[in-house]
Structure 1
Amino acid sequence: MSIVISPAARDALEGWLAASRALKGTAENTLTAYRTDVVDFITFMTEYKGDAQGLAPLSRIAVTDMRAWMAQTRSGGASARSLARKLSAVKSFYRWLAEREGFEPTAVLSTRAPKFEKKLPRPLNEDAARAMIATVGEQSQTGWVGARDMAVVTLLYGCGLRISEALGLMGRDLPLGEAMRIVGKGGKERVVPVLPVARQAVATYLKLCPFETETDKPVFRGVRGGALNPRLVQKVTEQARMQLGLPATATPHAMRHSFATHLLSAGGDLRAIQELLGHASLSTTQAYTSVDTVHLMKVYEATHPKSG
């Protein structure tokens, strides 16, 4: 028997998602994940309590109910990290719902997420990053496609862009100057310096690209002229890393991590790097200090004159 969520609960969920979209500029992919997580939660509560979870029952969720949901989610194969993400979505929904409906959401909001080890980004060293860019450009037998892929990956490493940000560049953003304005996650704007090598890579691609540059069309095109699919960038990077014998962690996103880590190693200021990456929280950027500390300790252990 399929579980049907009450109309009131579904309306409330859609209202919260609409508010997140309008007020916070939450990305559509994130909203889709939020919807799935909250629907799964309400579905569990409906089944667990044997009653359609309208707004009144949802306002009476107890600590024991939350524990039962978390236990069921873990036993279903969800990792601690995945459960923490789901709980975050449920809490966000409950904050909004409690304020709107006037109930006390403490039982939900006081639920602690399971602890999990945060994965630190694994950057490439500088030689590997350069080799990756060059090798990406050699994966296609079509000249303009190779130049395109090389330009995209150069922007990831040279400007610290996310794939979505690089592929979101439009004809109106050209020609690239010494800096460009990027709209990142949550509609957050930042200004990113553009190195000459990145400008040259994009210019080379545009010169070879068989499609006209149009103001309202993406800069980076697929072979049929439509927007370039991010999966193709991931695929060509995967081919290049295998050719170079690099680990599976050498992904397009690792190029952005490498940008940050290499800036930090060169003495870059953490807050300035936070701005360049478009991180909302400095704590996100601070992950790079751990990476850099690991590197410094390796150098220290290899070079320090040990006594005895």
Structure 2
Amino acid sequence: MARLISPSLTHAMAAWLDHCRALNDAAENTLKAYQTDVMGFLAFMTQHHGDAQGLGPIARITVSDMRAWMAHERGRGVGARSLARSLSAVKTFYRWLSEREGFEPTAVLSTRSPKFTKKLPRPLAIDAAAAMIDTVELQARDSWVAARDMAVVTMLYGCGLRISEALSLTGASVPLPDTLVIKGKGGKERIVPVIDAAKDAVATYLRLSPHPVEQHSPLFRGTRGGALNPRMVQKVMEKARLQLGLPATATPHAMRHSFATHLLTAGGDLRAIQELLGHASLSTTQAYTAVDTAHLMDVYNRAHPKA
């Protein structure tokens, strides 16, 4: 795909990705997704116009060109959600490129994103979340590995952490304080309270672990002493959910969803939950309101005498 694009555009792409990496603190997986989406768009424009697309032609893209690209993507089976993500990456690149090169990006930036129904978070019920934590502990033969797995999942549910955030903790956090400063997406920091159950679970794991606690080493270790791979947490939860008869949506991230939903159900303030989760936009957190409403309507429909 890269050879379909001019050297000037290839250079611009690399500079933009460096910009995202340095200023936005974007994760490498995010950068790869950006690159794939934008390179695919630029490759299409090359084939669409039948000649090499340097900075000049790319700066003159029309509304018609944008419609042709989106129709092509839908024609090859790209869903509305994926196309919206690709369009977002293209717009981000164009906004940066237009400022750098001094051209008008309106045709690209004004393109409407395809509509799609946002998936609601799929939290576990309170008793299912507790059962997941207990059952995860039963999956490993080594007691220290069992304690480690339980500690990780307890941190996900008890503190509302993403799996990447939990596994980025180091020995400098030991013993766990009453609050932790967590660096989330985009390098944004937030303060999260640490419940006693999480403190106890981590303390038990560290007491049994054969690996020494060092300030700059990972808090959660793999069996060989390196950083714990998130896939190992996913696998142990897969085993536990099968034993419990829970759906495939019972993933590590579902524990974070459960944390937020259960707080909201207990009367938690939406703004406070937004801060705890590290959401940049309140609209993201408001998805949990829809989850709670959906649960209440389900209870109502099952209990209503005319149901």
How far is the alpha carbon of 1:304 from its aligned partner? 6.0
Gaps (5+ residues) in structure 2?
A: none
- Sort the Cα spacing of 1:257 and 1:226 in 2 relative to 1 into closer, same or farther, 3 A: same
Q: List per-residue Cα deviations over 1:178-211 (Å, max 9, x = no partner).
A: 1111000000000000000000000010011111
- 2:125 corresponds to 1:125: yes
- Sort the Cα spacing of 1:211 and 1:32 in 2 relative to 1 into closer, same or farther, 3 A: same
Provide the aligned length of Structure 1 versus Structure 2. 307
The answer on whether the counterparts of 2:137 and 2:146 sit within 8 Å (CA) in structure 1 is yes
The answer on whether the counterparts of 1:3 and 1:47 sit within 8 Å (CA) in structure 2 is no
Cα distance in 2, alignment partners of residues 235 and 67 from structure 1 = 42
Q: Residues 141-220 of structure 1: matches in 2 within 5 Å?
A: 141-220=141-220
- 2:30 corresponds to 1:24: no
- Give the secondary structure class of the aligned counterpart of 1:192: strand
Letter in 1 for 2:5: I
- Residue 139 of structure 1 corresponds to which residue in structure 2? 139
Could you list the structure 1 runs, at least 4 aligned residues long, displaced by more than 3 angstroms after superposition: 299-306
Cα distance in 2, alignment partners of residues 168 and 75 from structure 1 = 41
- 2:80 corresponds to 1:80: yes
- Sort the Cα spacing of 1:2 and 1:262 in 2 relative to 1 into closer, same or farther, 3 A: closer
How far is the alpha carbon of 1:99 from its aligned partner? 1.0
Cα distance in 2, alignment partners of residues 217 and 234 from structure 1 = 22
- Give the secondary structure class of the aligned counterpart of 1:199: helix
- Residue 277 of structure 1 corresponds to which residue in structure 2? 277
Cα distance in 2, alignment partners of residues 38 and 101 from structure 1 = 17
With the length of structure 1 as denominator, give the TM-score of the two structures. Answer: 0.96
Which deviates the most, 105-114 or 295-304?
Answer: 295-304
Cα distance in 2, alignment partners of residues 299 and 170 from structure 1 = 43
How far is the alpha carbon of 1:130 from its aligned partner? 0.2
**How large is the Cα RMSD of the aligned pairs?**
1.5
The answer on whether the counterparts of 2:122 and 2:257 sit within 8 Å (CA) in structure 1 is yes
Q: List per-residue Cα deviations over 1:223-258 (Å, max 9, x = no partner).
A: 111111101111110110000000111111000000
- Sort the Cα spacing of 1:171 and 1:2 in 2 relative to 1 into closer, same or farther, 3 A: closer
Which deviates the most, 110-119 or 86-95?
Answer: 110-119
- 2:235 corresponds to 1:232: no
Cα distance in 1, alignment partners of residues 144 and 78 from structure 2 = 43
Cα distance in 2, alignment partners of residues 239 and 256 from structure 1 = 19
- Residue 6 of structure 2 corresponds to which residue in structure 1? 6
Cα distance in 2, alignment partners of residues 241 and 162 from structure 1 = 19
Letter in 2 for 1:32: K
Cα distance in 2, alignment partners of residues 100 and 72 from structure 1 = 29
Cα distance in 1, alignment partners of residues 304 and 67 from structure 2 = 51
How far is the alpha carbon of 1:173 from its aligned partner? 1.6
- Give the secondary structure class of the aligned counterpart of 2:120: coil
- Give the secondary structure class of the aligned counterpart of 1:227: coil
Cα distance in 2, alignment partners of residues 210 and 254 from structure 1 = 30
Letter in 2 for 1:87: L
The answer on whether the counterparts of 1:3 and 1:46 sit within 8 Å (CA) in structure 2 is no
- 2:76 corresponds to 1:39: no
Gaps (5+ residues) in structure 1?
A: none
- Residue 251 of structure 1 corresponds to which residue in structure 2? 251
With the length of structure 2 as denominator, give the TM-score of the two structures. Answer: 0.97
The answer on whether the counterparts of 2:2 and 2:10 sit within 8 Å (CA) in structure 1 is no
Letter in 2 for 1:224: R
Which deviates the most, 70-79 or 54-63?
Answer: 70-79
Cα distance in 1, alignment partners of residues 239 and 71 from structure 2 = 40
- Residue 114 of structure 1 corresponds to which residue in structure 2? 114
The answer on whether the counterparts of 2:150 and 2:201 sit within 8 Å (CA) in structure 1 is yes
How far is the alpha carbon of 1:3 from its aligned partner? 3.9
Cα distance in 2, alignment partners of residues 282 and 203 from structure 1 = 34
Cα distance in 2, alignment partners of residues 76 and 181 from structure 1 = 44
Cα distance in 2, alignment partners of residues 302 and 71 from structure 1 = 43
How far is the alpha carbon of 1:302 from its aligned partner? 4.6
- 2:61 corresponds to 1:61: yes
How far is the alpha carbon of 1:298 from its aligned partner? 2.8
The answer on whether the counterparts of 2:160 and 2:256 sit within 8 Å (CA) in structure 1 is yes
Cα distance in 2, alignment partners of residues 76 and 211 from structure 1 = 50
Cα distance in 2, alignment partners of residues 176 and 240 from structure 1 = 26
